[in-house]
Amino acid sequence: MIADMTRTERTGAMIILGGLALVGLAMAVGGRNDLLGVHGWMVMIAGLTGFAVMIRQYDAPEPDPERLQHYYDAPTRAGIILTLFWGVIGMFVGLWVATLLAYPDLTFDAAWASFGRLRPVHTSGVIFGFGGNALIATSFHVLQRTTRARLPDQISPWFVLLGYNLFCVIAASGYMMGLTQSKEYAEPEWYADIWLTIVWVVYFSIYIRTLIRRKEPHIYVANWYYMAFILVVAMLHIINNLAVPISLGSAKSLLAIFRRSGCHDPVVVWP
């Protein structure tokens, strides 16, 4: 992976990883008394690990310019491995969840092993981890063959692939800790949603930049399908995670109602 990058691309990757580590540190400090801090440490460790790997190989020889005449399949190979990994994890948890229906004591009296926390790990592990990685990996392969063009650079495919899997890890660990938004298929917390949005924008840009550089005059229907998949997932992700905040005026009115009723600690009661 690093051997395929130029010195400039390695510098760019280090900046991204360093920024990710700083964001993780901010999350860890800001959420030190909350589960947010756990995810902050995970993000910081991921950023620092990648940064350390990059800096160790920063002075490696520059890649051969001849590589630009060939397709860039390293992200596809890594994506297939990650697809198999999430497939095993997701289906194993699915078997565990199914077994809980017959043997409820398999939770071992641990909150993280309850049916309610393991079920979204199964569904997200199979749909997002297994299915998402399969689609990303195969899209990189198909895109290059149908356009007869190499991926536009060596950083963005890895950013999409590894960034997407970081999202999957944050989501799955959040489910087991009980840190979710309690929305069906949109359980990850807001910071995970923001991160996935960034990753998805970069993913879409890879497609557009490669199509612009294509040597094949026609755009094969497979690319239209993949682009439709990217856009529809983006629409579902954004709309399914929309939250309408209460206005300042409404908040003041509610507080006034609570005070008149003698309640000093507002509690939202759903009808």
pLDDT digits (tens, 9 = 90+) for 104-113: 888 888 888 9
Which pTM was predicted? 0.86
Question: How high does pLDDT run on average in the chain?
Answer: 87
Assess whether 54 and 150 both reside in one domain.
no
What is the C-alpha separation between 129 and 122, in angstroms, rounded? Answer: 10
Task: Please check the confidence at residue 264 and state whether its pLDDT lies above 60.
Answer: no
Are 49 and 81 part of one and the same domain? no
Domain region containing 18: 1-60
65 belongs to a structural domain: no
Q: Are residues 90 and 212 in the same domain?
A: yes
* Span 151-168, pLDDT tens digits: 999 999 999 999 999 999
Residue 213 sits in a domain whose CATH number is 1.20.210.10
Residue 144 domain-assigned?
A: yes
Q: Is residue 270 part of a domain?
A: no
Q: Give the end of a domain, one of 60, 87, 107.
A: 60
Helix/strand/coil percent split, the chain, to 5: 75, 0, 25
Whether 221 and 95 map to the same domain: the answer is: yes
Residue 250 lies in a domain: yes
- Residue 75: burial class (beta carbons within 10 Å; 0-12, 13-18, 19+): buried
Question: Residue 66 falls within a domain, yes or no?
Answer: no
219: phi then psi, degrees, rounded to nearest 5: -100, 110
Residue where one domain finishes, among candidates 17, 33, 60: 60
Residues 35 and 160 in one domain: no
Q: Are residues 122 and 238 both part of a single domain?
A: yes
Q: Decide if 268 is inside a domain.
A: no
130 & 28 share domain: no
* Residue linked to tokens 């001849």: 66
Answer whether residue 266 shows pLDDT above 50: no
Regarding whether 78 and 164 lie in a shared domain, the answer is yes
The answer to whether position 226 is within a domain reads: yes
How large is the average pLDDT for residues 54-63? Answer: 86
Give a yes or no: residue 214 inside a domain: yes
Contact between 178 and 21 (Cβ < 8 Å): no
Please tell me whether residues 93 and 43 are part of one structural domain: no
Single-letter amino acid code for the residue at 247: S
Model confidence pLDDT, tens digit, residues 176-195: 998 888 777 778 888 999 99
- Do both 51 and 89 map to the same domain? no
> Which pLDDT score, from 0 to 100, does residue 249 have?
55
The percent of residues in the chain predicted with pLDDT above 90, rounded, is 58
